[in-house]
Amino acid sequence: IAAGDGPRVSDLAQALRVTPPTITTVLDRLVDHGLVRREDDLRDRRQVITRVTSEGAALLSRLGVYSSAEVAASQPIPREPVK
């Protein structure tokens, strides 16, 4: 999720070889913890994009999953409600 422009939920499920309901459950937990947020796909309103929040990026950096430069390049967004 942290790499790139934020994958669509369906693409994420496919890449991880799990069903969409499985990835939805995982994403629900990440959203509840403020690590990820969902956004409507502006190109296809039926789709949902996942993005790492600033809290999620900080956690990835602390865990050493990504270097600071890689996390910064993913452009994490602040945790604010979608309007």
Task: List pLDDT tens digits, range 13-68.
Answer: 898 899 999 999 999 999 999 999 999 888 888 888 889 898 998 888 888 776 55
Burial pattern 57-76, b for ≥16 Cβ within 10 A else e, equals bebbbeeeebeeeebeebeb
Strands (E), 1-83: 36-40, 48-52
Identify the three-state secondary structure at position 42.
Answer: coil
Whole-angstrom distance, CA of residue 8 vs CA of residue 42: 11
Name the pTM for this structure.
0.69
Whole-angstrom distance, CA of residue 52 vs CA of residue 32: 13
